[in-house]
Structure 1
Amino acid sequence: MQAFAIPDLPEIGPGDDLAAMVSERADLIDGDVVLVASTVVSKAEGRAAHLADYEPGSRAVEVADRLETATEESVDPRFVQAVLEEARALVMTEPFILAVTDGGHVGVNAGIDRSNTGGADLLLLPEDPHASADRIRETLDPDVAVIVTDTSGRPFRIGQRGVAIGWSGMPATRDWRGETDRDGRELEATVEAVVDELAATANLLTGEADGGTPVAVVRGFDGGSIDGSDTLFRDPETDFVRQALQGWSYAGH
């Protein structure tokens, strides 16, 4: 398997044909997986925003006040209002906001970015990352898969890694349940989050700061014969960590 970043992409702006730009700079072949950072997808889709666009409601003011108490740092209630408008649900509100987006991804501040925003105050996640991946894939000539990626923190570990928030042309997971290990024991719980693993691979190449390489290609990935599924995000009924957090009270202030 090989992985490489696509060089020389210009700064992306609203209305830019991101897929065409990728095609011009990469000789893609059937079976490639094209991984696109959500920042450039959002820029092409006009998802930049300014704090002045938001009028904070009472809930935003309340959450901002709680965050200021917890962190002893100033919190703009307009930013909190932006998070509330992008969130389908809140998992926790202090000492940071952990939110569920409409697409099912759970992330800090509903994935709203305040770096590499192209001059705006905020960069929101794509409105429908799966539809974004579909559109990019339809424009690319070869039979490829497309994954829209973001960076996200991990419970119990320091640091961020790439994750998939939208995908097209491949299953999200490989379900190893029912297969046997080398000792003949049947696997009962192993479901491999393939799109997340590929997103993390891409993140090693695209970087986190000013590298300017937001698109990567993985070539030679073999999905194998194990059945896959598009189910990646846990539903609330089986997400016991989310349930625990929603019943947790922050006592750090």
Structure 2
Amino acid sequence: METFAIEGLPEIRGGDDLADLVDARAEFEDGDVLCLASTVVSKAEDRKADLSAFPASERAESIAGRLEAVTGEPKDPRFAQAVLEESEELLTEVPFLLAVTRFGHVTVNAGIDRSNVPGAELLLLPEDPSASADRLAAALGVPVVVTDTSGRPFRYGQRGVAVGWAGLPAARDWRGETDRDGRELDVTVQAVVDELAAAANLLTGEGGDGTPAAVVRGFEFGDHAGSDDLFRREKDDIVREALREWEFGA
């Protein structure tokens, strides 16, 4: 398997045909998977915004005040309002905003970005990244994974994760298969779209690299059952349940 960045993409603006811009700079082969940073998908879908578009509610004012008290840094309640409007639920309000997005991804600040957003203050995640991936996959004829970077519990640092995908299952299911000693696997489900996103993120980078698209070539899903279960269902999520009961500093 190999991974390479697609070079030469311009700064993406609202209304740009992202599929056409990628297609003009890449020659795809059968089996290729295109990994695209959510930032360029959001820009093409005109998901830029300014803080003025989010007048602060009483709850946002309260959240900003609590964050200021904990961090000792000024917090704009309009940003808290943006996170609220982009979220289905806030699992924590302090010491940071941990949000469940409307499409099921759990991430800090609802994935709202404040870097590499020329002409605006905020960049929101795509409203439905898998629907975005589906449109791009149909136009380009290859599977597409929309990626973002996310922190991890119990570890420092961020890594690439999939927030949307189309054209391949999210996971390959090893349950019912056997290991080398003939023991049956009963829990192993491999989140392949996350692993592809992480591989691509090594090339697309985190700062001003300007390479938001990467191709994974030679990945083979193999003869396994597939699943689109990636975001854990609420009824199965004991961590989410615990966070609802947790209070910072208690």
Tell me what 1:61 maps to: 61
- Structure 2 matches for 1:139-158, cutoff 5 A? 139-140=139-140, 143-158=141-156
1:67 match: secondary structure: helix
- Structure 2 matches for 1:154-233, cutoff 5 A? 154-233=152-231
TM-score, structure 2 as length reference = 0.98
AA aligned to 1:176 is W
Tell me what 1:135 maps to: 135
The structural deviation recorded for 1:119 is 2.4
AA aligned to 2:59 is R
Tell me the distance in 2 between the aligned counterparts of 1:190 and 1:6: 33
- Structure 2 matches for 1:18-97, cutoff 5 A? 18-97=18-97
Tell me the distance in 1 between the aligned counterparts of 2:96 and 2:83: 11
1:224 match: secondary structure: coil
Deviates more, 1:235-244 or 1:80-89: 235-244
The structural deviation recorded for 1:120 is 0.7
Mark the runs of 5 or more structure 1 residues left unpaired by the alignment: none
Moved segments of 4+, more than 4 Å: none
Tell me the distance in 2 between the aligned counterparts of 1:78 and 1:161: 28
2:235 match: secondary structure: coil
AA aligned to 1:212 is G
Tell me the distance in 1 between the aligned counterparts of 2:118 and 2:215: 24
AA aligned to 1:223 is F
Tell me the distance in 2 between the aligned counterparts of 1:200 and 1:222: 16
- Structure 2 matches for 1:2-21, cutoff 5 A? 2-21=2-21
1:119 and 2:122 matched: no
Tell me what 1:110 maps to: 110
Residue identity (%): 64
Mark the runs of 5 or more structure 2 residues left unpaired by the alignment: none
1:158 match: secondary structure: strand
TM-score, structure 1 as length reference = 0.97
Q: How many pairs are equivalent?
A: 250
The structural deviation recorded for 1:66 is 1.2
Tell me the distance in 1 between the aligned counterparts of 2:231 and 2:239: 13
AA aligned to 1:109 is N
The structural deviation recorded for 1:245 is 1.5
* Cα deviation code 1:72-92 (max 9, x no counterpart): 111100000000000011111
Tell me the distance in 2 between the aligned counterparts of 1:236 and 1:134: 25
Tell me the distance in 2 between the aligned counterparts of 1:82 and 1:66: 17
* Cα deviation code 1:166-190 (max 9, x no counterpart): 0000000011111111121111111
Tell me the distance in 1 between the aligned counterparts of 2:181 and 2:244: 40
AA aligned to 2:144 is V
1:16 match: secondary structure: coil
